Amino acid sequence: MKPDKEILIKKWLNDELSPEEFEMFKKLDKYEEYIKISDRAKHFKAPHYNQKVEFEKLNFATSSQKKSSNLKVFKYVAAVAAIAIIAFTLFQTLNTTTNLQSFATSTAKTKSVQLPDQSKVSLNANSNLTYNKDEWYKERQLQLNGEALFKVKKGQKFVVNTAYANVEVLGTVFNVKSRDYIFEVSCFEGSVKVYLKGQSYVLKPKDNLVIDHENILITQFSSAQPDWKTNKTIIDSKSLDIVLKEFQNYYDVNFDASNIDTSTIYSGSFSHNDLKIALNSITLPLGYTYTKQGNTIILSNQ
């Protein structure tokens, strides 16, 4: 009987060939090729698997769950951790009322503030901005004392509270100036609602609201950004005492104006970068001169 080729090969592959069958297998025409394939297969051997090392690794990983005593300890640790977390959250919630964020600038300094909703605020000199961080997502509300430019992300209403009025918007760019001697709101984009003395005023882009001698005036302007962002102050028909107060936001000086009439109306502008030029741009048109003594500027008639 002559077993066929396939059976011979299969038997060879399982080391089952009898010596006679092996002789027959050797006579197959592809015999050498098969032997070579089988032999060279050993070069593809899998990398050594170190049973002991691998088990050690595994042991390490399983040991944490292994012992019940460990589990008990874990339970206590978990309980303590849970109490700590609860206490912390309670503390946080009770603490919300005092979680205020405050930003302040001194004379001649400005500051950029990023609010939690990505709205941006540029704070002008001598200004103060406060908001409640925890309440922010319920109600976008801030307190402003001074001057700031707001770029508000679209969203729920955004309210700027000042000593004069509440300025309310949805998403827009606007400037609020709220100082003890002046209140002014300028709208650059979108629309702004100003609540003032029980009345509301809606400002469209390029509208400017100003309180002038107890009167509320809405005028148009043409600049693309507030004057202070270009490092100067533009003044349109204001009495000199207001101008001097405004001046002191940008320069650390005192004025002695006892020799002149501070109710003189001034229109013009002054730079925030150079004290000498700024003083000249105010005094020259009005026909005044100044002398400087330390930090004090004495104004006098020519």
Partner 1 sequence: MTKDKLLNKNCCDQSIFSKLHDKHAKDLHDFIYYKFGEQFNPKDKVQQAFLKLWENCKKITPDKAKSYLFSVANNTTLNVIKHEKVILKYESNTKSNNSDHQDPQFLLEEKEYMDKYQNALSKLTEEKRAAFLLNRVEGKKHKEIAKILGISRKAVEKRIYTALKQLRKEIHEI
Footprint of partner 1 (CB under 8 A): 6, 9-10, 13-15, 30, 33-34, 36-38, 40-47, 49, 51, 54-55, 57-58, 61-62, 65-66
- CA–CA separation, 191 and 188 (whole Å): 8
Nearer to partner 1, 60 or 76 (CB): 60
Nearer to partner 1, 1 or 61 (CB): 61
For residues 128, 134, 136, 138, the Cα torsion angle rounded to the nearest 10 degrees is: -150
Min separation Cβ 43 and partner 1, Å: 4
Min separation Cβ 81 and partner 1, Å: 23
Nearer to partner 1, 13 or 77 (CB): 13
Nearer to partner 1, 65 or 301 (CB): 65
Min separation Cβ 79 and partner 1, Å: 24
Nearer to partner 1, 33 or 139 (CB): 33
Min separation Cβ 48 and partner 1, Å: 9
- CA–CA separation, 104 and 106 (whole Å): 7
Min separation Cβ 24 and partner 1, Å: 17
Min separation Cβ 103 and partner 1, Å: 50
- CA–CA separation, 300 and 257 (whole Å): 7
Nearer to partner 1, 69 or 295 (CB): 69
Distance of CA 144 to the CA centre of its chain: 19
State the burial class of residue 128 (Cβ atoms within 10 Å of its Cβ: 0-12, 13-18, 19+): middle
Min separation Cβ 75 and partner 1, Å: 19
Nearer to partner 1, 20 or 39 (CB): 39
Nearer to partner 1, 21 or 189 (CB): 21
Min separation Cβ 30 and partner 1, Å: 6
Residues 6+ apart with CB under 8 A from 240: 257, 260, 261, 262, 263, 264, 265, 266, 282, 286
- CA–CA separation, 129 and 113 (whole Å): 9
Here the tokens at position 74 are 């874990």
Q: How many residues does the chain have?
A: 302
